[in-house]
Amino acid sequence: MWLDGQWVTAMRSGLLAAILLLTPILPALATDYESQRRAEAQRQEYNRQMQQYKAQQDAQRQAQEQARRERLSQEAFEAQKQQSLANQRTRQQQSAREQQASIDRAQARIRADMQQQQQRQQDSARRQQQQQQQRQQMAERQRAK
C-alpha cells in the first residue's frame, strides 16, 4: 500500500507528466478549434449562398413560368381572335352568296316574267293579226257576194 505522502507525490508526478505531455499539443488543439470554427463559418456561408442561389433560381423559374403562361394566354387570345375573324368572314361570305343567290333568283323570275309577257304579247299580236285577217277575208267574201 501506498502511504499518503507517496500517493500525493505520485499524483503530482503524474500531473506534471501530463502537463509536460500536453504542453506541445495545446497550440495544435487551439489551432484545431480555430480551424473548426472557420470551417463552420464557411459551411454556414456556403449554406447561405446556396439558399440565395436556390431562391434566385426559383424566382427565375417562376418568372419564366409566368412569362410562358402570359405568352400562351396571348397566343390563345390571338388564335381566338383570328378564329372569330375567320368565322365573321365566313358568315359575311355566306351572306353575300345568299344575297347573290336571291338576286339571281329574282332576276330569273323577272326574265321568266318578261318572256311570258313577251310571249303573251306575241300571242295577242298573232291573234289580233289572225282576227284582222279573218275580218279581211270576211270583208272580201262579203264584197265578193
pTM: 0.44
Q: 142 vs 96, which has greater pLDDT?
A: 96
Q: What is the largest CA-CA distance in the chain?
A: 200
Distance, in Å, from the CA atom of 117 to the CA atom of 145, rounded to the nearest integer, reads 41
| pLDDT for the residue 22 | 67
Q: Which three cell numbers stand for residue 75?
A: 397566343
CA distance 125 to 117: 12
Is the model's pLDDT at 2 over the cut of 60?
no
Tell me: the pLDDT tens digits for 107-129?
999 999 999 999 999 999 999 99
Average pLDDT, the chain: 88
Question: Contact 36/28 with Cβ under 8 angstroms?
Answer: no
